[in-house]
Amino acid sequence: MFEDHEIMSTIEMVKNENLDVRAVTLGINLFDCISHDLSVFKKNIRNKIIAHASQLVETCDRVGEKYGIEVVNKRISISPIALVGASFSADQMVEIAHELNDIAKTVNIDFIGGFSALVEKGMAKGDRALIEAIPRALTETQHVCASVNVATTKAGINMDAVLEMSRAIKRAAEMTADDDGLACAKLCVFSNIPQDMPFMAGAYLGVGQADAVINVGVSGPGVVKRAIERQMEGQRMTLGQIAEIIKRTACKVTRVGELIGREVADALGIKFGVVDLSLAPTPTVGDSIGEIFQALGLSHIGVPGSTAALAMLNDAVKKGGAFASSHVGGLSGAFIPVSEDLNIANAAHKGFLTVEKLEAMTCVCSVGLDMVPVPGDITEQTLAGIIADEMAIGMINAKTTATRIIPVPGKKAGDKVHFGGLLGEARIMDVPHSGLEDDFVTFGGRIPAPIHSLKN
């Protein structure tokens, strides 16, 4: 039972602390659209997606207005195109991406995710075609997002796919050089990718899901920060007490997200899926994960103590969210995207946060190296090494990790990049030894799955 002051604090969250629902994502299964004829396939997916999604934006806006809580992003996730379009060539995959982009415009959504492949154990014909198509697909479209899962705890790491993805990332960056490599901001490489997350660029609808389902992603860094600051005014608290505050706040935020998601799902006649508990920041002051670290007494995110603080934050958010909802899924953790969080971007620019420290922090949070701009002359081998390192963290620790890294053509460490909107802006981060061409990542094959009986 919530007390009166907690109900009032929820109202305060809505009015003054940037509480919103970050994403309502409509997942649509496309396996019944499969055809060997490209024109038939495109017609089938167009008809099915529009049939389910034509009222999505209007419904989200109406429900959001009813409760005074904005639904920031309305999105669609679909079955992995490498599976449902396995018979098509790379050029035909690009045509499919154009069709998806046009559908996204028709139903007025922000992004459509699912231009994806799952290749942790090997690449089939459709997977190779999709990976080859990714640079063009992301360059020639505005709303399509791509993701490739190259590792799992049970399968190990597909190093052939890691190297292929480093080449795809470099190529996508070069093709959008005039926009600071913007195509790479729509591309994630994953280990242990969840099948039901509402957040881009990795959202897709996995096998075993309903025909259509609504998944919701909540937000709330500003809410957590203010809750900590309110309770600490005039008193000194223990970290256990602070964790309790974060937990109770996460519970309230999650309830809000589930309320909105279930009402949208009911209005559309679609099943409700999960609430993703991730704390997702924006480039706005007061809505930053980095500012939570300062509320916890750290001068900047990235200084000693940051990994421990993030571990406490992540755990408390999960505990509070799990109490609030019986259907939790997706990533459910704290995002630390560099360019999308003004405070984190500033910490990186001032040298408090390095690529190596970011990697260390991803051991205890969700997502991984997210929206990290790096020098454009980074070699494919170094890029593949960074991806492989991040995938290894996910594989060994049985958790999701991802790499969304942007080698900005023609720019070097310290130069400014601007991606616009929620993607934000940042200074390019230095990558030590970025010019090396080490052989390790070129051996190929698969790094075997880890043993768990001897875990320590």
With CA atoms as reference, report the closest residue to 384 among 208, 157, 179.
157
Neighbours of 158 (CB within 10 A): 26
Q: Span 373-385, mean pLDDT?
A: 95
With CA atoms as reference, report the closest residue to 31 among 213, 272, 205, 215.
205
With CA atoms as reference, report the closest residue to 369 among 391, 352, 351.
391
More confident of the two residues 453 and 52: 52
Q: Span 400-421, mean pLDDT?
A: 93
| Position 1 pLDDT exceeds 60 | no
Q: Span 338-360, mean pLDDT?
A: 93
Of all residues in the chain, the percent with pLDDT exceeding 90 is 72
Q: Is 112 exposed, middle or buried (0-12, 13-18, 19+ CB in 10 A)?
A: buried
Q: Span 4-26, mean pLDDT?
A: 71
Q: Span 197-222, mean pLDDT?
A: 90
| Position 403 pLDDT exceeds 70 | yes
Q: What SS3 class is residue 227?
A: helix
Q: Is 446 exposed, middle or buried (0-12, 13-18, 19+ CB in 10 A)?
A: middle
| Position 6 pLDDT exceeds 70 | no
The upper half-sphere exposure of residue 276, i.e. CA atoms within 13 Å in the direction of its Cβ, equals 28
- Going by pLDDT thresholds of 50, 70 and 90, the confidence category of residue 438 is confident
More confident of the two residues 8 and 244: 244
Q: Span 166-190, mean pLDDT?
A: 96
pLDDT at site 413:
93
- For helices 239-268 and 4-16, give the axis angle rounded to 10 degrees: 70
pLDDT at site 437:
81
CA distance 208 to 148: 18
pLDDT at site 287:
77
- Rg, C-alpha atoms of the chain: 21
- Kindly report the length of the chain: 456
